[in-house]
Amino acid sequence: MAERKPVESWLTDMDGVLIHEGVPIPGADAFLKKLRDSGHPFLVLTNNSIYTPRDLHARLLRMGLDVPEENIWTSALATAQFLADQRPGGSAYVIGEAGLTTALHDVGYVLTDHEPDFVILGETRTYSFEALTKAVRLINGGARFIATNPDNVGPSAEGVLPATGSVAALITAATGKKPYFVGKPNPLMMRAGLNAIGAHSEGSAMIGDRMDTDVLAGLEAGMRTFLVLTGVTQPKDIDRYPFRPSEVVDSIADLVDRV
């Protein structure tokens, strides 16, 4: 088997890798500084579609982590890019926050509830019965169903919250139509991110804390994968999956010298 090329480009998940419950994970600042200083292309990824890259840049900076806007890749951006490629200048009825609506506006989409091409479901803290009912009726009327990511729950200080995947299941039950999920573990999000920074999968690595999203997406995109043990997946969980990461490390701190 041919030896793999050295890692020249890095993609890393955010929650569970760089931060945990709003606090930086030790080594995250050193890793990001090494990436910036090295000049290697890199992206910080998140399935959360609520925030714009500018919002996330500011939130991370308040935690002491400096990630330029252009190095942040969200499921909202990936969804907007996917739709711009599939149906340029289309229209959509959107359930979501500024991260998603801004991304769609930026690719020239019109947001409307009148015969939209797509119904797009993203993350929000204020899912309303009225909005969900409208989404169901529009999908039954012929609109195509897209969701930013399949995560069933999201974190909060008070405990887990129902997230996009759970709400998508509700709409599917009412319409019989399953959405196309753009975010992880769909390798489309990874490949679009690699294209955004001019990188190739053969010389790229994905760092994540979840086997079922981060590692799977990186694997299916043809990248080297690193699993950190500072988030969801723990050592006892790894053998439950029919695939493995390229390497398992304790935390992001163990990868600083690999950049």
The CA distance from 241 to 8, in Å, is: 28
Return mean pLDDT, the chain. 94
237 Cα distance to chain centroid: 22
| Residue scoring higher pLDDT (4 or 67) | 67
| One-letter amino acid for residue 24 of the chain | P
| One-letter amino acid for residue 91 of the chain | S
Per-residue confidence (pLDDT) for residue 156, from 0 to 100? 66
CA atoms 196, 197, 203, 207: torsion sign: negative
> Rounded to the nearest 5 degrees, what angle is found at the Cα of 95, between the Cα atoms of 163 and 174?
75
| One-letter amino acid for residue 137 of the chain | R
Dump pLDDT digits (tens) for 104-149: 999 999 999 999 999 999 999 889 999 999 999 999 999 999 999 9
pLDDT reading at 155 higher than 70: no
Per-residue HEC secondary structure of the chain comes to CCCCCCCCEEEEECECCCEECCEECCCHHHHHHHHHHHCCCEEEEECCCCCCHHHHHHHHHHCCCCCCHHHEEEHHHHHHHHHHHHCCCCEEEEECCHHHHHHHHHCCCEECCCCCCEEEECCCCCCCHHHHHHHHHHHHCCCEEEECCCCCEECCCCCCEECHHHHHHHHHHHHCCCCEECCCCCHHHHHHHHHHCCCCHHHEEEEECCHHHHHHHHHHCCCEEEEECCCCCCHHHHCCCCCCCCEEECCHHHHHHHC
User: Looking up tokens 């997230």, which residue turns up?
Assistant: 163
- What's phi and psi for 176, nearest 5 deg? 75, 5
113 classed as catalytic: no
214 classed as catalytic: no
Query: Quick one: which of 257, 188, 207 has its CA closest to 15?
Result: 207
Dump pLDDT digits (tens) for 190-233: 999 999 999 999 999 999 999 999 999 999 999 999 999 998 89
The CA distance from 58 to 61, in Å, is: 5
| Residue scoring higher pLDDT (155 or 229) | 229
